Chains A and B, each alone.
Chain A
Amino acid sequence: KAGVTQTPRYLIKTRGQQVTLSCSPISGHRSVSWYQQTPGQGLQFLFEYFSETQRNKGNFPGRFSGRQFSNSRSEMNVSTLELGDSALYLCASSFSDRSHEKLFFGSGTQLSVL
Chain B
Amino acid sequence: AQSVAQPEDQVNVAEGNPLTVKCTYSVSGNPYLFWYVQYPNRGLQFLLKYITGDNLVKGSYGFEAEFNKSQTSFHLKKPSALVSDSALYFCAVRDMDTGRRALTFGSGTRLQVQP
Residues on A facing B (Cβ under 8 Å): 4, 6, 31, 33, 35, 42-43, 45, 48, 55-56, 58, 90, 92, 97, 99-100, 102-108
Chain B contact surface mostly: loop
Whole-angstrom distance between the Cβ of B73 and the nearest chain A Cβ: 19
The 8 closest A-B pairs by CB, nearest first: A105-B43, A45-B102, A43-B105, A105-B44, A102-B46, A100-B51, A107-B43, A42-B107
Residues on B facing A (Cβ under 8 Å): 32, 34, 36, 41-46, 49, 51, 90, 94, 96, 99-108
CA distance A6 to B41 in the complex (A): 13
Residues of A within 8 A of B34 (CB): 102
Residues of A within 8 A of B104 (CB): 45
Whole-angstrom distance between the Cβ of B38 and the nearest chain A Cβ: 8
Whole-angstrom distance between the Cβ of A47 and the nearest chain B Cβ: 9
Given A42-B108, A99-B32, A107-B96 contact (CB < 8 Å): no
CA distance A79 to B10 in the complex (A): 36
State whether B105 touches A42 (Cβ < 8 A): yes
CA distance A4 to B46 in the complex (A): 13
13 other A-B residue contacts (CB within 8 Å) besides A6-B43, A33-B101, A102-B34? A35-B103, A42-B105, A42-B107, A42-B108, A55-B101, A56-B101, A90-B43, A99-B101, A100-B32, A102-B49, A103-B46, A107-B41, A107-B42
Chain A contact surface mostly: strand
CA distance A55 to B102 in the complex (A): 10
Write the chain A residue with the least CB distance to B48: A102
CA distance A16 to B5 in the complex (A): 35
What are 17 contact pairs spanning A and B, CB under 8 A? A6-B43, A35-B103, A42-B106, A43-B105, A45-B103, A45-B104, A56-B102, A90-B44, A92-B43, A99-B32, A99-B96, A99-B99, A100-B32, A100-B51, A102-B46, A105-B44, A105-B45
